[in-house]
Structure 1
Amino acid sequence: MDTVIQIIIILLFTLVFIQDLKLRAIHISLPILILIFGLISYFRNGYSVINLLYSLAFLIITFGGLYLYLSAKNKRFTNPFKRNMGLGDVLFFVAVIPFFSLHNYILFFITGMLFSIVGFLIIKLVVKTDLVPLAGLLALYLIILKIASYSAGFDVFFTNLLN
């Protein structure tokens, strides 16, 4: 059953990547399905709800900081989801919370942004665009992490990598 869930999750990540790359948007059902299958896998492995809440709090604080920064920069209240980030990107960040421990989620957030910058620079060489397919690039990053984790036999999602 766990293998089937992991295959479905990788297929969903692949759909996010393809859709975001082509349309610069993702359908709302994709992050919802990713969250559902992520929660199923998360609770089947016996992890606690408190870890999910801590990761969600980290995300809220981070986006709150982004809101305050953009508002200060523009000298007026600024909604970062109108020009700087799409709602699909935010939903994707929420949807992948069950895939990580808190520390590894923070690490994923940082390294995923770096991966997305490099990925966008490569995409920009081929296609002239200013829109970053953030959710798609993060989905690709997660596919790579899942395959690497499986191949190495080492859990990069819940093993504390910061020690």
Structure 2
Amino acid sequence: MNMLFLGVNLILLWAYMYLKGKKVTEDFFLGIAIGDIVFLVVIIPLFSFANYAVFYIVGMCFSLILHIIVQKRKLDERKTVPLAGYLSFFLMITLFLGEVLGFDFYNGYFL
């Protein structure tokens, strides 16, 4: 189910990028780097479907906010977003809080 969720998101991203007129390059596939897609696939076994969807949505918002802060403070001059890095940082926070607070993200007890 998680793979289907990710696949639908990637298809919608592809449609958006296609309508916007962007081309697929070696480094970027549909506006997202290959490493980002690999990271999102690799973490699938860590979460139940509902928790994966929440992690994906909140993680993307976290990445956006963190990237805006980094750009405003001029800590990084790149125009690309290191999404896998931001999401891995968010994953560390999520798993740490899960251990401290006793949440089981795999079995769906969080939601």
2:64 to 84, 108, 117: 117
Structure 1 residue ranges (4+ consecutive) displaced by more than 6 angstroms after TM superposition: none
Could you tell me how far apart the structure 2 residues matched to 1:79 and 1:110 are?
24
How do 1:1-163 residues align onto structure 2 when only pairs under 5 Å count? 54-74=1-21, 78-79=23-24, 81-82=28-29, 84-124=31-71, 125=73, 126-157=75-106, 158-161=108-111
**Count of aligned pairs between the two proteins:** 106
Identity value in percent: 33
Which structure has the bigger radius of gyration?
Answer: 1
Larger helix proportion of the pair:
1
Q: Deviations over 1:51-97 (max 9, x none)?
A: xxx110111111011111111122xx743834721100000000000
Q: State the superposition RMSD in angstroms.
A: 1.9
Q: What is the one-letter code of the residue matched to 1:102?
A: F
Q: Which runs of 5+ in 1 are unaligned?
A: 1-53
TM-score, with structure 1 as normaliser: 0.60
User: CA contact under 8 A between 2:14 and 2:30: conserved in structure 1?
Assistant: no
TM-score, with structure 2 as normaliser: 0.85
Q: Deviations over 1:124-158 (max 9, x none)?
A: 22222211110010000010011111111222453
Q: What is the one-letter code of the residue matched to 1:96?
A: I
Structure ranking higher on relative contact order (CA contacts 8 Å, 6+ apart)? 1
